[in-house]
Structure 1
Amino acid sequence: MRGFIFTVTVLWMISASCAEAIHGLYNFGQHDLFHKKNNCKQIPSSLLLCHDIEYTEMRLPNLLGHESMNEVLQQASSWIPLIQKQCHPDTRKFLCSLFAPVCLDDLDEPIQPCRSLCESVKRGCAPVMYAFGYPWPDMLNCDRFPLDNDLCIPPASVENVVPVTKEVPRVCDACKETEENDNEIVDNLCKNDFALKIKVKEISYINGDTKVVPETKSKTIYMMNGVSERDLRKTVLWLRDGQKCICEEMNDINAAYLVVGQKVDGRLVITSLKRWQKGQREFKRITRSIRKIQC
């Protein structure tokens, strides 16, 4: 199965997500657009783009005109690959100030990113996007944002900036594309302790590893070996060193996945992860192999 590559993701991000966001983008000079009552909402754990930011509540509608959390989640997911490219240390801060602006009860006006924050992120990330043939999108035109003042979000101070690596992060071993025949599929399954079909409920990062919590109701166990019922009551999966590598397969929080792995030191460790695509020939072969498996 072919995994998503950054070029395809950026194409989708620019042509689909940005187009919809531009259509709903607030004109920052027209304050009447904020006459709608703004509601403070808890930032959901499924909003991966804004994981581990410094505040916990966001306002809706946001600065891109998204009025529902579902819309925010759908549009924000397409920007995760840009975060993974590590093109600028403030990329997440800038994007989250738009998708999930901080919500303060005693402040009616939204807190926007400063123009200098936009320009700083653009200098770092626009060349990365341009390298794949896509310009900096109009929805992120830095002239839309206010000059630096006490009520906008500035870039990190020079002493707090974390150097950005220019090296493209490696693909996680579990997320690499593989071409396997039926015998190799069976052999791979027999080397592992479990195979699950899941949908992702929550993703977080602990000590450099990626912690994946599946939705319980969507979990289907295809194979078990050395994994107890107790292990599966509250399934938690781990992708080792997930913070140091990229897994573009997992960009879509709404997708289903086939996860294969081993039980190591009490943890269910992912060794292979593939986007589940119903009807695709490879998954028909995998399903058939699992049903007939005899290790």
Structure 2
Amino acid sequence: MQRRLCALLLLASHCLGSAAGLFPFGEPDFSYKRSNCKPIPAPMLLCRGIEYQSMRLPNLLGHETVQEVLEQASTWIPLVQKQCHPDTRKFLCSLFAPVCIDDLDEIIQPCHSLCEEVKESCAPVMSAFGFPWPDMLDCSRFPKDNDLCIPLASSDHILPVTREAPKVCDACKNKNEDDNDIVENLCKNDFALKIKVKEIAYINGDTKITPETKSKTIYKLNGLTERDLRKIVLWLKGGLQCTCDEMNDINVPYLVMGQKQAGELVITSLKRWQKGQRAFKRFSRSIRKLQC
């Protein structure tokens, strides 16, 4: 995604009551209709590589269709990419895609300890984006470890983190540009804005960024008017397939540049605005003399 209702980002509506950003919220109904097994769909990136292949519907969040699960699960991928805990994926998948065993009618929930461990490591990450740990993930909802539930991985079975690091979005790569480089980059793009973020959402694999209306400073804008800016949205293409650690706090301003493509404003460069940093301090002065 007020600004706090967005990011982690970032949303879809049915997931957990109401959702508007990266992390959904709400009070799930833990009463179930008669459930049935469905294959975990290949496009469900949140549960890719999980140890089982079939999930129960309705799931622990009340989603009744595969399409609904796909849409809502995608909003949590950025939290998994933060690697705040080795079992984050397991925990979330046990909610969105509960393991399905044909001979067992009971839905298997995550264990209390699994929830607590993931919360301890990941709640600070969510907090950095302005989100408290949601009530729907209140660990007291989940069974103790001596019951039938999905346990925390034994430390004996946790492998060292040798997996390939997530791909960094091209627009978010640190290029160590000075003020001259930034101004030169400006000439190659159709727009340049200093913004604060109101909302971050994920749509069809792309990141949708809605700026705060009153926070924008315009440095360059081709093809749009001030009136158009009132409802402007920016797009980070393929945002669900890459990480953007540069944009890890929605409470600070950013310099974004990009191009107009098929009617959308697509970000090609995103940098946290470094207050007092020489490059950014001189950028505002240099832009007034700019001749591309």
TM-score of the superposition, structure 1-length normalised? Answer: 0.54
Q: Who is 1:81 aligned against?
A: 82
Q: Which runs of 5+ in 2 are unaligned?
A: 18-24, 28-77, 96-109, 124-132
Question: Does the 8 Å CA contact 1:201/1:214 hold for their aligned counterparts?
Answer: yes
Cα distance change of structure 1 residues 91 and 227 upon mapping to structure 2, 3 Å threshold: same
Distance 1:294 1:178 in 2: 23
Distance 1:290 1:187 in 2: 10
Distance 1:88 1:121 in 2: 15
- Deviation of the 1:213 alpha carbon: 0.7
Q: 2:287 aligns with which of 255, 274, 290?
A: 290
Distance 1:262 1:256 in 2: 20
Q: Who is 2:267 aligned against?
A: 270
Q: Which runs of 5+ in 1 are unaligned?
A: 1-43, 60-76, 132-165
Question: Does the 8 Å CA contact 1:170/1:245 hold for their aligned counterparts?
Answer: yes
- 3-state SS, counterpart of residue 267 of structure 2: strand
- 3-state SS, counterpart of residue 229 of structure 1: coil
Question: Does the 8 Å CA contact 1:213/1:237 hold for their aligned counterparts?
Answer: yes
Q: 2:254 aligns with which of 253, 257, 281?
A: 257
Cα distance change of structure 1 residues 101 and 200 upon mapping to structure 2, 3 Å threshold: closer
Q: Who is 2:31 aligned against?
A: none
1:48 maps to 2:8: yes
Distance 1:240 1:288 in 2: 31
- Deviation of the 1:112 alpha carbon: 6.7
Question: Does the 8 Å CA contact 1:48/1:80 hold for their aligned counterparts?
Answer: no
1:173 maps to 2:134: no
The answer to which of 172-181 and 82-91 deviates more is 82-91
1:1-295 equivalent positions in 2, closer than 5 A = 45-46=5-6, 48=8, 54-56=15-17, 57-58=25-26, 81-82=82-83, 88-91=89-92, 98=119, 100-102=133-135, 110-111=141-142, 117=150, 119-120=152-153, 166-295=163-292
Question: Does the 8 Å CA contact 2:81/2:243 hold for their aligned counterparts?
Answer: no
| Identity percentage of aligned residues | 52
- Deviation of the 1:118 alpha carbon: 5.5
Distance 1:230 1:84 in 2: 44
Distance 1:235 1:113 in 2: 47
Question: Does the 8 Å CA contact 1:101/1:111 hold for their aligned counterparts?
Answer: no
- Deviation of the 1:187 alpha carbon: 2.0
Question: Does the 8 Å CA contact 1:194/1:260 hold for their aligned counterparts?
Answer: yes
Q: Who is 2:39 aligned against?
A: none
Give 1 or 2: higher helix fraction.
1
Cα distance change of structure 1 residues 48 and 193 upon mapping to structure 2, 3 Å threshold: same
- 3-state SS, counterpart of residue 283 of structure 2: helix
Cα distance change of structure 1 residues 277 and 265 upon mapping to structure 2, 3 Å threshold: same
Distance 1:121 1:206 in 2: 36
Cα distance change of structure 1 residues 202 and 113 upon mapping to structure 2, 3 Å threshold: farther
Distance 1:254 1:199 in 2: 7
Cα distance change of structure 1 residues 191 and 87 upon mapping to structure 2, 3 Å threshold: same
Distance 1:276 1:89 in 2: 35
Cα distance change of structure 1 residues 293 and 244 upon mapping to structure 2, 3 Å threshold: same
Cα distance change of structure 1 residues 197 and 123 upon mapping to structure 2, 3 Å threshold: farther
Deviation string 1:233-290 (CA, Å, 9 cap, x unpaired) is: 2110000111111000111121110111111111111010001121011211322222
- Deviation of the 1:79 alpha carbon: 8.6
Question: Does the 8 Å CA contact 1:258/1:274 hold for their aligned counterparts?
Answer: yes
- 3-state SS, counterpart of residue 201 of structure 2: strand
- 3-state SS, counterpart of residue 281 of structure 2: helix
TM-score of the superposition, structure 2-length normalised? Answer: 0.54
Distance 2:136 2:87 in 1: 27
Cα distance change of structure 1 residues 121 and 192 upon mapping to structure 2, 3 Å threshold: farther
Question: Does the 8 Å CA contact 1:227/1:263 hold for their aligned counterparts?
Answer: no
- Deviation of the 1:110 alpha carbon: 4.4
